Structure 1
Amino acid sequence: MQSTTNKISVGIIGGAGYTAGELIRILINHPMVKISFINSSSNAGKQVSEVHDDLFGECNLTFSSKPILDVNVVFLCQGHGKAKKVLEENEFSDSTKIIDLGNDFRLHADADFDGKSFVYGLPELQRDKIKKSNYIANPGCFATCIQLALLPLAKAGIIKNEIHVNAITGSTGAGQNPSATSHFSWRNNNVSVYKAFTHQHLGEITESLVSLQSSMNYDINFIPVRGNFTKGIFGSIYTECDLSVEEATELYNNFYAEHPFVSISEKGIHLKQVVNSNKCILHLEKHRNKLLITSIIDNLVKGASGQAVQNMNLIFGLEETMGLKLKTVAF
């Protein structure tokens, strides 16, 4: 348990991107955190609020050129594939916790690196393991949205057919560096499919479901969609299921009863209910023999930085919701 008088010293590496900006926004208002450094090699010496101008008037920190190696926890917010290089080049204290927001350590085959064993950081799946771990692989945004829609079915062992997923994400999911498909003039008033059936998050989704239901060897047919909005993921997931909607709702309510950020709505849901929050909201419908689960999250909060802070809270014995009671945009 973290002392209530000693704040957690935090470092952030890769501080200029969208996930880092969201992380800073959360951490500067966290009552048990002191940000010791925010590293960005390309912005060293600049005020953080020059890059993240939503923090103007709230944050007077300056980007550093090098990390501090003896902080309590480091968040790695660099692009996918870069975390291993950071750990190879920087010898952090043995007591420093590492939370990687990239995909370097999410799969079982990649979890052990340089004497460090990373735990997959989906609290609703393995909260107890997270509490005992020093190294966390934060889940992907699509993976979080889709897994939270399916975990109760896998836990009950009742996934008995292939799964169909259509999920649309905001432009911030593509990262801060501009590309042809994130440029405003292309993205605005436009929708497109990408990485159909091959998205990189399928691996972690499958591993989590199999950990709960060993017989889960069915295809997950995932169609990711680029949306013409900035934040959020709206996932529509369906599969064959013998449960009535009332039975399914009871199953989901029981599964998430002790998990503060997941709620089951009896009414249809919409994306603005979760944007800027660490919530996931699920809605269940039954259509003939198919169960439809709609799942919504903010891709940068519950799908990235908020979940990372949730993991930090668990590691340090804090209230899981501390610093994460965030208001949605609502309208």
Structure 2
Amino acid sequence: MIKIGIIGGAGYTGGELIRLLVNHPQAELVFVHSKSSAGKPLYAVHQDLLGQTELLFSGELHRDVDVLFLCTGHGEARKFLEAHPPAEHTRVIDLSNDFRLQPQSTIFDLQFVYGLPELNREKIRTAKAIANPGCFATAIQLGLLPLAQRGLLQDIYTTGITGSTGAGQALSATSHFSWRANNIQAYKTLTHQHLGEIGQSITQLQQEPGVDLSFVPWRGDFTRGIFISSTVRVDLSQRELTQLFTSFYQGHPFTHISEEPIFLKQVVNTNQAVIQLEKVGDKTVIHSAIDNLLKGASGQAVQNMNLMFGLDEAMGLNLKAGYF
């Protein structure tokens, strides 16, 4: 059994991670740390865990774990590791953006590998530390990587809409139900924090300069899920595009190409990513959809853990979509 610790277990990503791990056949949840909820049962915060586990939130840290998941806020993961260096045998999976970009991806002797399995699966298998990708970054990259591998990307125009859970559990003016209901809004136009990691991954496959990504994200009137539409110009037919994407993702259990229109309910509550390609004239639109808390966060983190410990990549992640 893999002994597991979680730092920051009271938030959305921490809660999703607990839900996955309490039912994972090779996982033993040793402790879940939370300053605000120490001493309380996990189900006191995540009430759907009633009857699933009797574990209490811990205010203390335990070093005798095989893997440590960091579900802290952005900027907090690096501070935590600086104050609490992990044991030599402990592997680290960070769900924040603290270690995704070079050259900030190193601390002590830990070199963080960017944890997008469809891009870096073999590196993840031997890594001691993983920087889990961002949710928007995951959805956008999955729609672009096959084209980058062929050196076909130039100007990319992307829009994407995300649910309210993407903003985290702490309430803000734009995450209240009364604001989100019957409402949408563009935000961080052309400046979203995930642009850097997307560009870094594209450059890993397509080293030619000149790729320009314009991204406009939207806040949506729903709780979870991300839907992306990226428009590019490529000199490939619809059939060639489908073959390219199908070949690229062959053997990757969670990313699928659809010839029919895709929609969020196909992926919500799952670790799946679905992609649809549309060719109109000389323009191609790549639609991609994921659950922001699973394939965009905690599900992908467990997928990375499985790879790091030599397990079936999909172990503990065969989840049912919330289709109805």
Q: Same fold, TM exceeding 0.5?
A: yes
Q: CA deviation at 1:92?
A: 1.9
Q: Which residue of 2 aligns with 1:208?
A: 201
The residue number in structure 1 matching 2:214 is 221
Partner of 1:183: 176
1:157 is aligned to 151
Whether 1:41 aligns to 2:54 is: no
Shift of 1:292: 0.5
Matched-pair contact (CA < 8 Å) for 1:69–1:91: no
Unpaired stretches in structure 1, ≥5 consecutive residues: 1-6
2:196 partner letter: G
Q: Hey, what does 2:69 align to over in structure 1?
A: 75
1:140 aligns with 2:148: no
1:217 is displaced (CA, Å) by 2.4
- Mapped pair 1:271 → 2:260: no
The equivalences for 1:304-315 within 5 A come to: 304-315=297-308
Count residues in correspondence: 324
Shift >2 Å, 4+ stretches? none
Is 1:60 the counterpart of 2:54? The answer is yes
1:4 is matched with: none
Q: Which residue of 2 aligns with 1:166?
A: 159
TM-score (norm 2): 0.99
> Equivalents in 1 of 2:63, 2:137: separation in Å?
31
Letter in 1 for 2:310: G
For the Cα contact (< 8 Å) 1:74–1:96, is it kept in 2? yes
4, 7, 11: which one aligns with 1:10: 4
Q: Indicate the residue corresponding to 2:246 in structure 1.
A: 253
For 1:90, the equivalent position in structure 2 comes to 84
Q: Are residues 1:31 and 2:63 paired? A: no
**Structure 2 unaligned blocks of 5 or more:** none
Check whether the contact 1:43–1:63 (CA below 8 A) recurs between aligned residues: yes
Number of the residue aligned with 1:194:
187
Q: CA separation in 2, counterparts of 1:77 and 1:88? A: 16
Give CA deviations for 1:96-122 in whole Å, capped at 9, x if unaligned.
000000000000121111221100000
Specify which of 304, 309, 315 is matched with residue 322 of structure 1. 315
Identity %: 57
Q: Per-residue CA shift, 1:256-295, capped at 9, x if unaligned?
A: 0011100000100110000000000000010111111100
Deviation of 1:216 after TM superposition, in Å, equals 4.5
Counterpart-to-counterpart distance in 1, 2:259 and 2:20 = 30
1:3 equivalent in structure 2: none
**Structure 2 Cα separation of the partners of residues 320 and 275 of structure 1:** 19
**Alpha-carbon spacing, 1:40–1:217, altered in 2? closer, same or farther (3 Å):** same
The separation in 1 between residues aligned to 2:67 and 2:194, in whole angstroms, is 25
